[in-house]
Structure 1
Amino acid sequence: MQHIAGLFLQKLQGTLDSAAATELEQWLSAQSAENRAFYTSMTSWTEIEEALHQFYQIDETAAWNDVWQRIGQESPKTSPAIRPIWIRRTAAAAAVLLLVGLGTGWWLHRKTVINSTIPPMASLGDTNVVPGGNKATLQLADGSVIVLDSAANGALSQQGNTLVRKEKEGALSYESLSPRPDTALVYNKVSTPRGGQYQVVLPDGTKVWLNAASSLRYPTAFNGNERSVELTGEAYFEVAANATKHFKVTVASSQHTPMQLEVLGTSFNIQAYGDEPVQAATLVTGKVNVVAGDQQALLIPGHEALLTRHSNRMQVQAADLDATLAWKNGLFYLQDANITDIMRQIARWYDVDVVYEGAIPQQFVGKIPRSMNLPDVLKILESTGWVHFRVEGKKITVQP
């Protein structure tokens, strides 16, 4: 998508050559009619600025400052009243990726009549629920618990011959203090709440990113011929290569068939939330063997093994890596997603409860930054005209 967004930017800037223009046209022709209309609108300065204005519904200064912040640039100091048009258009060009990321669901609100009997999000009161962040607890071998988001950086504890450190906000690491391994395995466990995420660097150098409502149990030193950890929820792994010690992940879920992954050095994602209908192991690089009961599958990069709830049958298929890794890259990725799929993600990330009043049959397409406050996310979804929300504290009622 970044490559396609780059072609849109070139078209906006008048630098698109004939070969790139053909590529863009071929890509557009493969999209649905709604998608084509949306993406075509992103080649018009007027449409872009109107979209930004309607999305923010606030003054121009705040809108453009937020766009600059989202694209990692410092906002120009020029007063908006006298800001040259080229500065505004430079920002608009850079904002294309943001608007494309919001997707057709956001764009369609300008083409849809909202049901006037349901109060819009703005009338639901001040419900400024902020997004999740780096929150987790560390359970040590003796059962004591350290709240990591409030702990100071630096050494936290010594577990056997291993020093546990909080390196920076949202990261935990382990450092061996002796060349001699511990004789007995000592286990730690990192757990993220709803609305939390955390990164752990294991004793062998393997990096693990935990999504919300997840946990990882592991030894503070990997002895013997195997490196074994236990996961609940969702995590992305970048396994340190070691040809003499296989890395094994055991996935625990009361709602799914137990799953194990065996690797040497590779990167992959595991999603095993108990409230999700499907459990998935997705390989990004390297090679991994997935075992579930008496079945196993050797995955190649770009493929995933799926287990449906209460099913003993494993299915292997090509994976959408953008969708799988969206959470790690700070996005909600909606690809023909129904509202219950979306709201499960929202419930975990914003630590809210969701109830339903009526069915919403439509499917949603688009990407929404997880850094947005909850009202902004709900406003984007409401803008389709397909769904409305009533928010009372931490409870969200979903209505057609």
Structure 2
Amino acid sequence: MTSTDEQDFQAMQQIARLLLRRLQGTITAEEATLLNQWLKEQPAASQEFYAQITSWPEIEAELLKLDNIDDKAAEEQMREWLNVQKPGKRVIWSYWAAAAAILLFIGTGMWYINSHPENKQPTSQPQATRYQNEVLPGSDKALLQLADGSTITLDSANKGELTIQGNARIVKNAEGVLTYESTNNQAPVYNKIVTPKGGQYTITLPDGTKVWLNAASSLRYPTAFTGNERTVELSGEAYFEVAQNANQHFRVNTNVSGHLPMNIEVLGTEFNIQAYADEPALTTSLVSGKVSVNTNNQAVVLQPGKQALLTKNADIKVQQANMEATIAWKMGFIYMEDTNFEEIMRQISRWYDVDVIFEGKTDKQFNGKIPRDTKLSTVLKALESTGWVQFKVVGKTVTVYPTAQSSN
């Protein structure tokens, strides 16, 4: 760091601590005087940012849980932030995750707006006008389609045995996971589990394979696996933890509108497949083991940490996977790393079950991590804190208004 950077860091650190103490209600009279004096000297954009963070109940609730501040970790993260900033990028911090992250978010957020007046957030419409209602995050919910065409709503179904299908008892266990238990030697039949927008669900298949389904997804599978293959059909996104069976290869087939069919063959492994019709490519990301990805007379074998992309022009591309980003949804996060805005809004649309209307475009890329159990308004306010976009929420419709600087 230069001497100027070091001065910036020290000032940022001091203000971050004062802000944290005020939010926690532990600030002394002397410290409050210092903070108030500093706030008076800041431009309107910084004062508005302060007003926003002090009015978010999620911050207050999490701050009250904190007993100890990891000063060393906070200092290291703030120094790293100063060293890694790049022109044209801004970070949305996961500020409620830990004390150090909160210090980092508050300190650098104020510092960044204060240091870059050209990026002030427009205030043509107050948030109270634009956020006309709240939208809650998605939850565990899905519909089970049985072989005879009847359905069971899983989120409202009682735990225990739900029904019998072919040679299997269908059970919703104590954790709410759908499981299959073999009962006799009758021929298997096919079931299908479907998650709506705003839903997710976990299922254990008849062979012991565990599958996590993301929102707006479906999985078709037999009530028992016979022969030398275990084949399922996926639309949407799912994370697979495949039960090992060297005598039965596990196969996932996708057949998504606008994309070529994709076939993934494995023996025993963990991997993620994203196969949404509105995404530009189908992706298979390998966590462990080995998989073969096949389509249109092309085949590639993935090693752990690699990702296969099947684009609409029928080419398979293999690249290094950002595994944290790939499985963030399963771990409960909306994750952004140089992520384009349209991709972020597709995630938000699926998880919050909202329609998105764009009143213009932004070419900015976003970075950050936000818990998926967060209310929609908090997610949108975090995105707005970049100064690149504003939102209006009416019912289940989110309208996006990129700002003038979002295409600079």
What is the TM-score of this pair, normalised by structure 2?
Answer: 0.77
Q: Report the equivalent of 1:57.
A: 54
SS in 2 for 1:328: helix
- Contact kept in structure 2, 1:262 and 1:288, CA below 8 Å: yes
Q: Report the equivalent of 1:47.
A: 16
- Contact kept in structure 2, 1:263 and 1:288, CA below 8 Å: yes
Q: How does 1:137-148 map to 2 (within 5 A)?
A: 137-148=143-154
Could you tell me how far 1:129 is from its partner in structure 2? 0.3
- Contact kept in structure 1, 2:177 and 2:203, CA below 8 Å: yes
Kindly tell me: are residues 359 and 247 of structure 1, through their superposed partners in 2, closer, same or farther at Cα, counting changes over 3 Å? Answer: same
Instruction: Give the letter for the 1:116 counterpart.
Output: T
Matched, 1:161 2:167: yes
Rounded Cα–Cα distance in structure 1 between residues aligned with 2:11 and 2:188? 57
Could you tell me how far 1:284 is from its partner in structure 2? 0.3
One of 115, 119, 129 as aligned partner of 2:122: 115
Rounded Cα–Cα distance in structure 2 between residues aligned with 1:185 and 1:177? 11
Q: Is there any run of 5+ residues in structure 2 with no aligned partner, and where?
A: 24-49, 75-97, 403-408
Kindly tell me: are residues 130 and 287 of structure 1, through their superposed partners in 2, closer, same or farther at Cα, counting changes over 3 Å? Answer: same
Could you tell me how far 1:98 is from its partner in structure 2? 6.1
Rounded Cα–Cα distance in structure 2 between residues aligned with 1:40 and 1:204? 55
Kindly tell me: are residues 349 and 374 of structure 1, through their superposed partners in 2, closer, same or farther at Cα, counting changes over 3 Å? Answer: same
Matched, 1:251 2:220: no
Percent sequence identity is 51
Q: Report the equivalent of 1:367.
A: 369
Rounded Cα–Cα distance in structure 1 between residues aligned with 2:245 and 2:106? 41
Q: Report the equivalent of 2:309.
A: 306
- Contact kept in structure 2, 1:259 and 1:290, CA below 8 Å: yes
- Contact kept in structure 2, 1:304 and 1:316, CA below 8 Å: yes
Q: How does 1:208-227 map to 2 (within 5 A)?
A: 208-227=211-230
Rounded Cα–Cα distance in structure 1 between residues aligned with 2:144 and 2:11? 46
Rounded Cα–Cα distance in structure 2 between residues aligned with 1:101 and 1:273? 33
SS in 1 for 2:69: helix
Could you tell me how far 1:313 is from its partner in structure 2? 0.8
Rounded Cα–Cα distance in structure 2 between residues aligned with 1:237 and 1:101? 34
**Cα deviation 1:266-304 (Å, max 9, x = unaligned):** 000000100011110000000001101100001000001
Rounded Cα–Cα distance in structure 2 between residues aligned with 1:289 and 1:136? 29
Rounded Cα–Cα distance in structure 2 between residues aligned with 1:165 and 1:335? 39
Q: Report the equivalent of 1:358.
A: 360
Rounded Cα–Cα distance in structure 2 between residues aligned with 1:236 and 1:152? 25
Instruction: Give the letter for the 1:47 counterpart.
Output: A
- Contact kept in structure 1, 2:289 and 2:303, CA below 8 Å: yes
One of 119, 138, 141 as aligned partner of 1:135: 141
Aligned-residue CA RMSD (Å): 3.0
Could you tell me how far 1:159 is from its partner in structure 2? 0.9
Q: Report the equivalent of 1:96.
A: 100
- Contact kept in structure 2, 1:138 and 1:147, CA below 8 Å: yes
Rounded Cα–Cα distance in structure 2 between residues aligned with 1:142 and 1:193? 21
- Contact kept in structure 2, 1:382 and 1:388, CA below 8 Å: yes
Kindly tell me: are residues 103 and 235 of structure 1, through their superposed partners in 2, closer, same or farther at Cα, counting changes over 3 Å? Answer: farther
Instruction: Give the letter for the 1:339 counterpart.
Output: F
Rounded Cα–Cα distance in structure 2 between residues aligned with 1:104 and 1:235? 36
The number of equivalent residue pairs is 344
**Cα deviation 1:133-192 (Å, max 9, x = unaligned):** 0010000111100000110111001112211011145411111123xx33x330110000
Q: Report the equivalent of 1:376.
A: 378
Q: Please, which moves more after superposition, 330-339 or 163-172?
A: 163-172
Rounded Cα–Cα distance in structure 1 between residues aligned with 2:10 and 2:137? 30
Q: How does 1:1-400 map to 2 (within 5 A)?
A: 44=13, 46-47=15-16, 50=19, 53=23, 54=50, 56-58=53-55, 63-67=59-63, 75=65, 87=67, 89=69, 94-97=98-101, 108=112, 111=116, 112-117=119-124, 119-168=125-174, 170-178=176-184, 181-182=185-186, 184-308=187-311, 310-400=312-402
Rounded Cα–Cα distance in structure 2 between residues aligned with 1:290 and 1:41? 51
Instruction: Give the letter for the 2:178 counterpart.
Output: L
Rounded Cα–Cα distance in structure 2 between residues aligned with 1:394 and 1:347? 9
Rounded Cα–Cα distance in structure 2 between residues aligned with 1:99 and 1:210? 34
- Contact kept in structure 2, 1:105 and 1:384, CA below 8 Å: no
Could you tell me how far 1:107 is from its partner in structure 2? 7.7
**Cα deviation 1:196-246 (Å, max 9, x = unaligned):** 000000011000000000000000111111100000000000000000000
SS in 1 for 2:162: strand
**Cα deviation 1:13-44 (Å, max 9, x = unaligned):** xxxxxxxxxxxx9xxx9xxxxxx99x968993
Rounded Cα–Cα distance in structure 1 between residues aligned with 2:55 and 2:144? 42
Rounded Cα–Cα distance in structure 1 between residues aligned with 2:106 and 2:163? 43
Instruction: Give the letter for the 1:66 counterpart.
Output: E
SS in 1 for 2:173: strand
Kindly tell me: are residues 243 and 227 of structure 1, through their superposed partners in 2, closer, same or farther at Cα, counting changes over 3 Å? Answer: same
Q: Report the equivalent of 1:20.
A: none
- Contact kept in structure 2, 1:103 and 1:367, CA below 8 Å: no
Could you tell me how far 1:315 is from its partner in structure 2? 0.5
Kindly tell me: are residues 399 and 58 of structure 1, through their superposed partners in 2, closer, same or farther at Cα, counting changes over 3 Å? Answer: closer
Q: Please, which moves more after superposition, 323-332 or 104-113?
A: 104-113
Could you tell me how far 1:97 is from its partner in structure 2? 4.2
- Contact kept in structure 2, 1:231 and 1:249, CA below 8 Å: yes
